[in-house]
A and B are shown apart, each in its own frame.
Chain A
Amino acid sequence: MLTIKDLCASVEDKEIIRQLSLEVKPGEIHAIMGPNGAGKSTLGNVLSGRPGYEATAGTVTFKEMDLLDLDPEIRAREGLFLAFQYPVEIPGVSNMELLKAAVDARRTHAGQEEISAIDFMKMAREACKSVGLDQSFLKRGVNEGFSGGEKKRNEIMQMMLMEPTLCILDETDSGLDIDALQVVARGVNAMRSEERSFIVVTHYQRLLDFIVPDYVHVLANGRIVKSGDKSLALELEAKGYSWLEDEVA
């Protein structure tokens, strides 16, 4: 699914990711944890192709393609999805318009027909319901005036409609109360399948109680310093990150 080899990446000429390697197989959930400034969000941004996040060395292979060579929209159409840490408010563009355009783009790219307005409406209403958003959110401007929790639910709703093969959740749990957290987790769990993989970036072990990962990686100073199974997350919760940084040093 995704193979990252010795990836180095910079933001504004400052190196953030340093020789990071990671292998994600179909159906797996990888959690990436780590202290502030470790490069967690940068990894998600580099993978999704955000302008200004430059890969300077290494390779990323996604479904046997050179991911770094693809424009952001092509990455998305190929099935990579980033749930934003800070979803952007876009007044004037309705959630519905954005979602239909997104789903159509993905389908057209895969050689499928565009979805009819009626079928799409049905799908969108259902997705709304499953993340606990009122249907009125479909008509509102994208994230416009949404609360923090509503924005994150909206991200999960988009993810459901786009049916990606690789989902990157960038601190989707930050700023969520326990109810919203469960909604998000339910959404993710419902989407788990043998063909779909997840990279869950988080500060806290809490989310991993609900989304149980196959692997946990600790990112510090731009590289993965420790990998393990879900018990590693519990250990981190108890001991913090500093012992790891000491261990590596």
Chain B
Amino acid sequence: MSAVFQQYASDLAQQQFGISWLADARDGGLSAWKEHAWPTRKTEAWRYTSLLPVENEQWQLSESSAETLSQEALSELIDMDAYRLVFINGQLCEPLSSELPAEVVTFADANSEQQAVIKAHLSKVANQQKHLFAALNSGLLHQGVLLHVGKNQRLDKPVYLVYVNDKADAQLANTRVLITLETGAEAQVIEHYFTSTDQDRGWVNALTECSIAENASLHHYRVNLESEQSLHTGGIHATLAANARLNGFTLANGSRLKRIDYHIEHLGSGSDLQLNGIYLPRHQQKVDYHTCVEHAVPHCTTSEVFRGVIADSARAVFNGRIHIHQDAQKTLAEMSNRNLLTSDQAQINTKPELEIYADDVRCAHGATVSQLNDEALFYMTSRGISEAEARVMLSFGFVIELVEGVAIEALQHWLRPRIAHMFGQSDQLTRHIIHE
């Protein structure tokens, strides 16, 4: 069955006329894709997430382009001063995109210098032998965005990448981002995935690679708020050179299949990773975060905090791994995963893993699973607040600390009401937690 799907996807790749100078990257991806053993429920990394939604459809590559979006979809965009690129069903929508600085270019428009940068870094950060959907992404490589910031340069505005889908049928949008920061460079990137209709049954396979050189600093934000019927796979891969910094934030609801991988490698001494994540599946949604942080060298720090609120019959998976190699002395690494189940049917499978081969490190990891606190609920109702509103306020309170840590204020303001409305659909229930 699985091999059938692998072959099917390979055939899809052959139908596509991709950018010619990326042919090698495509071939590499495709052969890695075909060589992968297809995951089953016995494959540890896919134990709680079924790939049947991928296997059971006759996917077509999404090719339709659109000139604009509905008012409703437009109002979902984050209102901020940024370099914006909008992709609708995987295709660039120029009228909605802004003028780009020299640092940002689509693969199709890359000049020879930029092509050289792309070829030098593409598929070098993400390991296609390990990551099935990274391999597929390269195999189907067509559209992509390069952000390349030169030595000691700082991009003056955030880069805001929008990926909107509105396909009611089985179309696959394969998206790719490559971020290369040279020594001492600084940039902020927001990747925003959403669907403009609840009927969307499309599949987005998104891959982001970040190569962060010495003393460079990247703020990376990833927002995945898609329809329940949609599929999302792929992940964010980054390498950190000496004294480089990555500040990551991710928010996702759930859908039929949503699997997001973070793979980060500390390759240079003194590098620092902060990664915060929030997942909020409800109804029948599923969401699966797998994170892996490799400490290969000494004196690096990792702080990773993921929180989830799982409602109704939703299911979430968090698998966080920190791997401290033998040479990675003086590592400071902390990982925490807290979960709030707001219904008896909600499910979380959490597995924080710490694998340590160095003997002089300071590491901590932990996971908790809890329900809404009855004492707090009574306290709030005894103040006249309805139980429904109290539940919304408590759920919101469980994750808001991480939102308040978001450095881009416009994003914070955008996130607050959207997160609140995931807990309570009516304004009556959210008006006291959304501050104007």
Q: Scoring B residues 384 to 401 as 1 if CB is less than 8 Å from chain A, else 0, what string do you get?
A: 111101000110111111
Which residue of B373, B381, B393, B400 is within 8 Å of A76 (Cβ)?
A: B381
The answer to whether the Cβ of B47 comes within 8 Å of any Cβ in the partner chain is no
Could you tell me the distance in whole angstroms from the C-beta of A100 to the nearest C-beta in chain B?
6
Q: Which B residues are CB-close (under 8 A) to A141?
A: 397
Choose from A72, A92, A100 the contact partner of B381 (Cβ within 8 Å). Answer: A72
Contacts of B386 in A (CB 8 A): 73, 105
Q: How far is the CA of A158 from the CA of B375 in the complex (A)?
A: 17
A65 interfacial contact with B, CB 8 Å = no
Complex: chain B residue closest to A74, CB-CB: B384
Query: Among residues 72 to 119 in chain A, which have CB atoms less than 8 Å away from a CB atom of chain B?
Result: 72-73, 75-77, 82, 84, 87-88, 90-93, 97-98, 100-102, 104-106, 109, 117
Count, A-B residue pairs, CB within 8 A: 87
Q: When chains A and B are docked, how far (Å) is the Cα of A71 from the Cα of B389?
A: 14
Contact with A along B353-386 (1 / 0, CB 8 A): 0000000000000000000011110111111111
B157 beta carbon closer than 8 Å to chain A: no
Complexed CA–CA distance, A84 and B381 (Å): 13
Interface centre among B376, B379, B384, B386 (most CB of A within 10 A): B384
Interfacial chain A residues near B376, Cβ < 8 Å? 88, 90, 93
Which residues in B have their C-beta under 8 angstroms from that of A92?
394, 396-401
B373 CB to nearest chain A CB (Å)? 8
Closest to B386 in A: A73
> Which residue, A48, A87, A88, has most C-beta atoms of chain B within 10 A?
A88
Residues of B near A73 (CB, < 8 A) are 381-387
A162: Cβ under 8 A from any B Cβ: yes
Residue in B378, B396, B399, B401 whose beta carbon sits within 8 Å of that of A72 in the complex: B378
Determine how close the nearest CB of chain A comes to the CB of B131; give it in whole angstroms.
34
| Chain A contacts for B384, CB-based, 8 A | 73, 76-77, 101-102, 105-106, 109, 162
Interface residue? A50 (CB, 8 A): yes
When A73-B384, A77-B384 are in contact, do A51 and B378 touch as well, CB less than 8 Å? yes
**Smallest beta-carbon distance A99→chain B, Å:** 8
**A38-60 residues at the B interface, CB under 8 angstroms:** 48-51
Whole-angstrom distance from the CB of A145 to the nearest CB of chain B? 13
Whether the Cβ atoms of A84 and B379 lie closer than 8 Å is yes
How far apart are B431's CB and chain A's nearest CB, in angstroms? 8
CB distance from A163 to the nearest CB of B (A): 11
- Name the residue of chain A whose CB is nearest to the CB of B393: A93
Q: Is the CB of B398 within 8 A of A104?
A: no
User: CB-CB < 8 A to A77: which residues of B?
Assistant: 384
Q: Is B418 an interface residue (CB 8 A)?
A: no
A91-B397, A92-B401, A97-B433 known; A105 vs B382 contact (CB < 8 Å): no
Q: When the two chains form their complex, are residues B397 and A90 in contact, meaning their CB atoms are under 8 A apart?
A: yes
Query: Contact: A76 with B397, CB < 8 Å?
Result: no
Q: When each residue 110-149 of chain A gets 1 if its CB lies under 8 Å from chain B and 0 otherwise, what string results?
A: 0000000100000000000000000000000110000000
With A51-B374, A72-B378, A88-B379 as contacts: A101 and B394 at CB distance below 8 Å: no
**Shortest distance in angstroms between A120's beta carbon and chain B's nearest beta carbon?**
11
A71 to B436, CA, bound (A): 31
Chain A interface main SS type: helix
B351 contacts partner chain A, Cβ-Cβ < 8 Å: no
A72-B378, A88-B376, A92-B398 known; A97 vs B383 contact (CB < 8 Å): no
Find out whether the CB atom of A97 lies under 8 angstroms from the CB atom of B381.
no
Alpha-carbon distance between A105 and B374 when the two chains are bound, in angstroms: 20
Indicate if B432 sits at the interface (CB-CB under 8 A): yes
What A residues does B436 contact at CB under 8 A?
117
Contact present for B383 and A102 (CB under 8 Å): yes
B397 touches A72 (CB 8 A): no
A34 to B411, CA, bound (A): 56
A48 neighbours in B (Cβ, 8 Å) = 382
Which single member of B382, B399, B432 contacts A49 (CB below 8 Å)? B382
Residues of B contacting A142 with CB < 8 Å?
A: 379
A77 CA / B381 CA spacing, docked (Å):
10
With A51-B378, A71-B381, A73-B386 as known contacts, state yes or no: A90 contacts B394, CB within 8 Å: yes
Other-chain contact of A98, B373, B385, B398 (Cβ < 8 Å): B385
Report the Cα distance A48→B381, complex, angstroms.
10
- B399 — which chain A residues lie within 8 A by C-beta? 92
B379 touches A97 (CB 8 A): no
Is the pair B378, A50 in contact by a Cβ cutoff of 8 Å?
A: yes
Docked Cα-Cα span, A72 to B399, in Å, equals 27
A151 to chain B, nearest CB (A): 11
Chain A, Cβ-Cβ closest to B399:
A92
A158 touches B397 (CB 8 A): no
What 15 new A-B contacts, CB under 8 Å, besides A72-B382, A97-B432?
A: A49-B382, A73-B381, A73-B383, A73-B385, A73-B386, A84-B379, A92-B398, A93-B380, A93-B433, A98-B393, A100-B432, A105-B383, A117-B436, A141-B397, A142-B379
A residues contacting B by CB (< 8 A) are 48-51, 71-73, 75-77, 82, 84, 87-88, 90-93, 97-98, 100-102, 104-106, 109, 117, 141-142, 158, 162
A-B contact pairs, 20 of them (CB 8 A): A72-B378, A73-B386, A76-B381, A76-B382, A88-B375, A90-B376, A90-B397, A92-B396, A92-B399, A93-B394, A93-B396, A98-B383, A101-B383, A101-B432, A102-B383, A102-B385, A105-B383, A105-B386, A142-B379, A162-B384
* Closest A-B pairs by Cβ, 4 of them: A92-B397, A76-B384, A105-B384, A102-B383
